[in-house]
A and B are shown apart, each in its own frame.
Chain A
Amino acid sequence: MKILIAEDEALSRRLLEKTLERSGYEVIAVESGRQALEYLSRPDGPRLALLDWMMPELDGPQVCSEIRKRSEQPYVYMVLLTSRGSKQDTVAGLESGADDYLTKPFNTEELKARLRVGERVLHLEDRLVEAREHLRFRATHDPLTSILNRGAVMDLLGRELNRSYREKTSTVILLGDVDKFKTVNDTHGHTAGDQVLREIANRILASVRSYDFVGRYGGEEFLVVLNGCDPASAPTRAEQIRRSITSRPIQTIGGPLSVSMSFGVLLSGEWGPRPVEELLHETDMALYEAKAAGRNCIRIARPDLSNPLPQRPAHHRAGHRL
């Protein structure tokens, strides 16, 4: 583990450096508070620090105080080293943001034990961050396919449309639906159906760029957002995604299954700022046209802006598409 030693007095610095190297630490030794702050502010900087109280430029408590202002960075466990011993000093040191306090000359075993406490705290923090990230992932991703869930992909689409309007670029929206998916479930079982959905998610992800968005919009519906996509190339891109689904059978518990998808495609850039719901409705209408045209194809939305939202046929809105 990396540890920073900030000590302006060379003899003490060398003694600490050697002691900690022997204990297996990767030591970075500096001689001023300014240098300490610089190292501790680096993204891959040490997260454990021994700071002398009295140093030129910035003293130990000032370094602690500066580091604690940076709430976005991983926690740094800081121990102040000092020969000052009054209760008032102890309080001031800890109030500045230090985690612990060690009096010089240090006792080697005590120093090591206190640093182990620091390592335990950092380990605990790592586990908390990991748990938070896990929760965040679960809140924004579909548990079956691990792609974005409906809420998350809608949110990102809204932001992307705003950005695209602001920067006068185009965004392409694809709404895809697995053809005759109900038959897959009814014939081969839900486990096979789940395998189909997972593989489709993987294939769509593999067909888009890392900065495009792919989300599970509904049961067997997928929403794809191609950011900054040239409108002229949108049909080709959509076809590539469609073909990635039909290119080879999907291996399932019920055997290899040939599956296809229909897509509605909409280019947002042509119509200015409009609500996400409205654009998705138009994409959905195009998807319906693709279904009506025999499935396994794409249809480009051509919204008529002079009319209010067109209505989908009642039977289509009522349940699953086929």
Chain B
Amino acid sequence: MNQRKKPPSEAVWNLHELLTRTDNDQELLRELLLIFKEDFPGHISGLTAAIAAGNLKNVAAISHTLKGMFANLAANKAAAAAARLEQVGRAGENAALKDAHEDLNAEIAGLLPELEAYMAGVRR
């Protein structure tokens, strides 16, 4: 069994931290989430392609970008997972690549519904 495959638990998305960062500007927060929604799929498909091609330099670069996006959104666990994948890519640790990627995917799987739910709430 892969012990790493567990669902995200706490601090998946720290809304309070993000609101502090945006000075409680809900409109800006929504705008940031829209930017994320637009840019994120491109980064994920780029990451998948880089991993499939074994292009660790690109893995590191895309993970770095994802890390920045997650960190800015206060999605701290996803940011940490992206940071691990970036490190693996930089160090050229092929053996650790798969686990690090799965960790990131697991964090993303926990994060996206929360973001979607928030967006839906704002829309209402």
Where the two chains meet, the residues of A that have a C-beta atom closer than 8 Å to any C-beta of B are 8-12, 14-15, 18-19, 22, 54, 83, 104-105, 108
Q: List 13 A-B contacts (CB under 8 A).
A: A9-B39, A10-B35, A11-B36, A11-B68, A11-B73, A15-B22, A18-B22, A19-B23, A83-B68, A104-B68, A104-B72, A105-B71, A105-B74
Q: Which of B5-13, B25-33, B94-102 contacts A (4 or more CB under 8 A)?
A: B25-33
Contact A15 B72 (CB under 8 A): yes
- Count B-side interface residues using an 8 Å CB cutoff: 22
Q: Which residues of B contact A105 (CB under 8 A)?
A: 21, 68, 71-72, 74
Cβ of B72 and Cβ of A12 under 8 Å apart? Answer: yes
Instruction: Return B110 CB to nearest CB of chain A, in Å.
Output: 19
Instruction: State how many angstroms separate the Cβ of B91 from the closest Cβ of chain A.
Output: 14
List of B residues within 8 angstroms of A19 by Cβ: 21, 23
> Of the candidates B32, B61, B64, B68, which one forms a contact with A14 in the assembled complex, judged by CB atoms under 8 Å apart?
B32
Closest A residue to B69 using CB positions: A11
Which residues of A lie under 8 Å from residue B28 when comparing CB positions? 14-15, 18
Question: B-side binding surface: helix, strand, loop or mixed?
Answer: helix
Closest to A53 in B: B64
In the A-B complex, list the 10 residue pairs whose CB atoms are closest, starting with the nearest: A105-B71, A11-B35, A10-B35, A105-B72, A12-B72, A11-B69, A9-B68, A18-B28, A11-B32, A11-B72
Assuming the A-B contacts A11-B32, A11-B36, A54-B64, are A104 and B71 also in contact, with contact meaning beta carbons closer than 8 angstroms in the complex? yes
**Contact indicator B31/A14 (Cβ below 8 Å):** yes
Bound-complex Cα distance A15 to B36 (A): 12
Point out the residue from B21, B36, B39, B71 that lies within 8 Å of A108, measured CB to CB.
B21
**A106, closest chain B residue (CB):** B21
Contacts of A108 in B (CB 8 A): 20-21, 23
Name the residue in A19, A22, A83, A105 with the highest tally of chain B Cβ atoms < 10 Å from its Cβ. A105
* With known contacts A10-B39, A54-B64, A22–B23 Cβ distance under 8 A: yes
Q: Is B65 an interface residue (CB 8 A)?
A: yes
Interface residues of B (CB under 8 A from A): 20-23, 25, 28, 31-32, 35-36, 39, 61, 64-65, 67-69, 71-74, 83
Of the candidates B32, B64, B65, B83, which one forms a contact with A15 in the assembled complex, judged by CB atoms under 8 Å apart? B32
A contact face: mostly helix, strand, loop, or mixed? helix
Cα A104 to Cα B67 in complex, Å, equals 10
CB distance from B42 to the nearest CB of A (A): 11
User: How distant is B30 from chain A, measured CB to nearest CB, in Å?
Assistant: 12
CB neighbours of B21 from chain A (8 A): 15, 19, 105, 108
- Tell me the minimal C-beta distance from A32 to chain B in angstroms: 14
In the complex, what's the smallest C-beta–C-beta distance from B71 to chain A, in angstroms? 4
By beta carbon, the residue of chain A nearest B43 is A9
Chain A contacts of B64 at CB under 8 A? 54, 83
Q: How far is the CB of B23 from chain A (nearest CB, A)?
A: 6
Q: How distant is A25 from chain B, measured CB to nearest CB, in Å?
A: 15
> Whole-angstrom distance from the CB of A91 to the nearest CB of chain B?
19
Chain A residue at minimum C-beta to C-beta distance from B79 = A105
Contact among B20, B23, B39, B61 for A11, CB-based, below 8 A: B39
The residue in B36, B39, B71 that gathers the most chain A C-beta atoms within 10 A of its C-beta is: B71
Counting chain A CB atoms within 10 Å of each CB, which of B20, B31, B35, B74 scores highest?
Answer: B35
